[in-house]
Each structure stands twice: as structure tokens, then as C-alpha cells.
Amino acid sequence: MTTSGILSPPDRPEALNWSAENCTLGRAMAVLGEKWTIVVLREVFLGVHRFEDMRVRTGIPRQVLTKRLATLVGHGILRRHPYQVPGERVREEYRLTEKGLDLYPVLAAILAWGDRYLGDPGGPPVVLVHRDCGAAVSVELRCADGHPVSPRATVPRPGPGARPRGADGAGRARGVRGSNGGRRLRRSVR
């Protein structure tokens, strides 16, 4: 018996009993999972707010940058803020919303991982420090009671929004009659 109350053989992960259709990690990656999106967020976190500055600094093609900024604004991660250089037309720069600021620990964790496994021998190109004291900043997992927790000391449990997989094994391929009367396989989507 497992914490979910559903019997699961010892060698079968309990996660197989639960639907992944409403997975918030999958939803987050649908918004953030494209390389240029993370690069745009990096730039904004570094204080680069203007379209042309981002484009020149990163080499992102103009059309791609336009789409990524629109996606981040559309999801409420960035907001447009008007500015005007004297003698020029009003333009917009991009600022983080509260939702965007909540991504800082995510980017800090990716940065730390990159520094550890993909960094140059000379050291990291950017170091995050505490503005007030100058000490290095790091990301750490902690439980709700404040204890430091290693990844191997965590256990996934179904949350209040978890949905048991259907009796038909929702998400598995199943046969469907085609217009010619033959059977073809289709992914079940709910």
C-alpha cells in the first residue's frame, strides 16, 4: 500500500498511478522551456530592459526576440514600461512583474548548475552576491519547517490537485477505428 492508497508493486514508481495531464512543471516548461526565453529572462535580471540592447548583446534574431518578449508579457512575467530618449519617439522597455521575480531562484539554480558543470576553467562569468553584505548567494532546498534538504531526501507525494490515472491508463496508446474501417493507434488526450 502507498500513501495514495493505491496498491503499487515495489518496483513500480507510485507516480505511474497519477495523471501527468495537469503537471505544473510541464506547464511551466511550455512557457519557459525554449532557450531564447531563458536568455531574455537572464538579460532582464541583469538589468538589460530595452529591445535593441537585448538584441545586440545576445544576437537573438529580431523576430524571435519579439515573440519571446510577447510570450513573457502575455504570461504576466514581464510588463511593458514606456520610456523616451530626448528627441526620439516613446518606446517600451521590459520589466519583471512579481510573477517574473518569482523566477529568480529558478534562474539562480540553473546558473549554479551551469557554473558547476559547464563553466570555463577561469571561473564563472557572473557571481550573484547579497547587495547588503556582499556574500555569495546560493539556492538551497528547505522543508516547510526550515530544515536543509538534499534531493535524495525528498519524496514526491500526490498533491491536492493530483488526479488518479483512468482505468484505461490515460496517456497510453489505444486503438481507434479509422475512416477506412481499419484500426490505427492514437494517443489518448483528455
The pLDDT tens digits for 145-163 are: 999 999 999 998 889 999 9
pLDDT band at 186 (very low <50, low <70, confident <90, very high): very low
Give pLDDT, residue 167: 53
Cα–Cα distance for residue pair 158/156, rounded to 1 Å: 7
Q: Structural domains in the chain?
A: 16-121 (1.10.10.10)
pLDDT digits (tens, 9 = 90+) for 17-56: 898 889 999 999 999 999 999 999 999 999 999 999 999 9
CB contact at 8 A, 156 and 23: no
**Spatial distance between the Cα atoms of 114 and 108, rounded to a whole number of angstroms:** 10
Alpha-carbon span 158 to 164, nearest angstrom: 9
* Spatial distance between the Cα atoms of 58 and 53, rounded to a whole number of angstroms: 8
Whole-angstrom Cα distance, residue 100 to residue 76?
A: 7
At residue 180, the pLDDT reads: 40
